[in-house]
Amino acid sequence: MTSFKLGFRLFSQNSFINSLLALELLLVFLLCASLTATISFLIQAQKDLSPTQKQKFVYYMPNTNRTIRDGNTFVKQKDEVLLNKYPELISVGHAIPVSFETDAEALPNRFTFRAYNTEMINGVKTKMKDGSWFMHDAPEGCIPLVVTDSNIPVGTIINAYNRKLSLEISFYVTGIAKSPFYYYDSGRSGDRLGSNDILELYKAKESSDFTGVFNYEQVKGFDYEKIDMTVNRYLYFEYETDSDVYSSYKEELKFDGFIADSASIREVDYEFYITTLKNELPEILCLFIISMVGLMSIAIMNISRMIPTFGIYAVCGCSKKTNLRIISVYLAIITAVSLSASFVFMILCKKLDFEYFSAITVSNFYALLGLSVFIYIVTMIFVILRFKKNSLRKMISDN
């Protein structure tokens, strides 16, 4: 009890410097939180990119110059053909980028939405910031839409026009996707998958693009063959499909076009995220170590400044263990204040929907480090000044 009282007295007697130390420790905690958020973001990204437990899927893009011969006629690879050909095929999803124009002041003049069919919408779910994933009914004459821009509230009606289809569509925003938003797209680089092919990552903080997802089956007069003669498809197979049979299906599909199964997609995105982590982690760790070293040096200097005080405690009968307990209590109080402030700060971020920890960039760490250095300098100046002003008589009267 005595150790706690004396430790608390040390904290209260040097409240300004101790507040600076607590603030500095708060920044270190935020650096730790940011580092943890970066790693967990990459891990979660890998999970989000994985297919569902009960399905295997293949991204399939038929060749534009090769079709399937049936007798003397050329037959396009329509969904019915694929479903009849492969018994284990559950459903066929479509994901087509469609360009739109609008006169709305709050939106860019041109943007691209992703047109899904019902199978695709049911097979893919994303985390929502507000609203829901196509669960709300839209007003009569409007098409439900999930968007990425949080500046557009749920319930907004967007009037858009597509020249190629000669369609004017009124979209009704039923939900806002959480950042980062993963959407299915159709694209490839030559014969090799790139990191932005098939599954694309939309970061609201790093992109000015505005995008959304809608069900094209709800749009009257929507003919996807006018947009793209070879619609890219996502073939969802039963998870229990025999491996040899599944491999033979992929070989057949590969002969007729470009394919990528869920394993190859995961591999590409895994390499992309691991590379990102490897590039950023050394820099992040350096900033973290610099902050920790600076914090410890200032804390040691501050405790050194109190050596005369501990000398007085020793003269008054305190043992070395008691002095160590006093120091431990003193540091524990500073740590508790910093942890409490960190907790309150992150709760406020959550309440205010502040996306600092969901869009981590190296510049965030530089900002924290810059603030840390500033606090170091200010604390150092005050510690040095207090060194000069220490008075043994004042210490005795205070203690």
Query: Which of 100-104, 138-142, 189-193 is predicted least confidently?
Result: 189-193
State whether 176 and 68 are in the same domain.
yes
Q: Based on the domain organization, do 201 and 283 belong to the same domain?
A: no
Least confident of 15-29, 63-77, 170-184, 204-218: 63-77
Q: Which band of pLDDT confidence, cut at 50, 70 and 90, is reported for residue 79?
A: confident
Instruction: Identify the pLDDT of residue 17.
Output: 67
Of residues 250 and 74, the one with the higher pLDDT is 250
Band of residue 333 on the pLDDT scale cut at 50, 70, 90: confident
Distance CA 38, CA 173 (A): 30
* pLDDT band, residue 176 (cuts 50/70/90): confident
Averaged confidence pLDDT in the chain: 67
How confident is the model over 25-47, as a mean pLDDT?
A: 65
Number of separate domains in the chain: 2
Question: Based on the domain organization, do 226 and 77 belong to the same domain?
Answer: yes
* 226 and 307 housed in the same domain: no
Q: Check residues 153 and 240 and name the one with the higher pLDDT.
A: 153
229 and 345 within one domain: no
Does residue 226 share a domain with residue 116? Answer: yes
Q: Are residues 104 and 177 in the same domain?
A: yes
* Cα–Cα distance for residue pair 31/36, rounded to 1 Å: 8
Range of the domain at 370: 2-47+273-398
126-173: pLDDT as tens digits: 677 788 777 667 788 888 888 876 678 888 888 888 877 778 888 888
Residues 24 and 92 in one domain: no
Is residue 247 a part of any domain in this protein? no
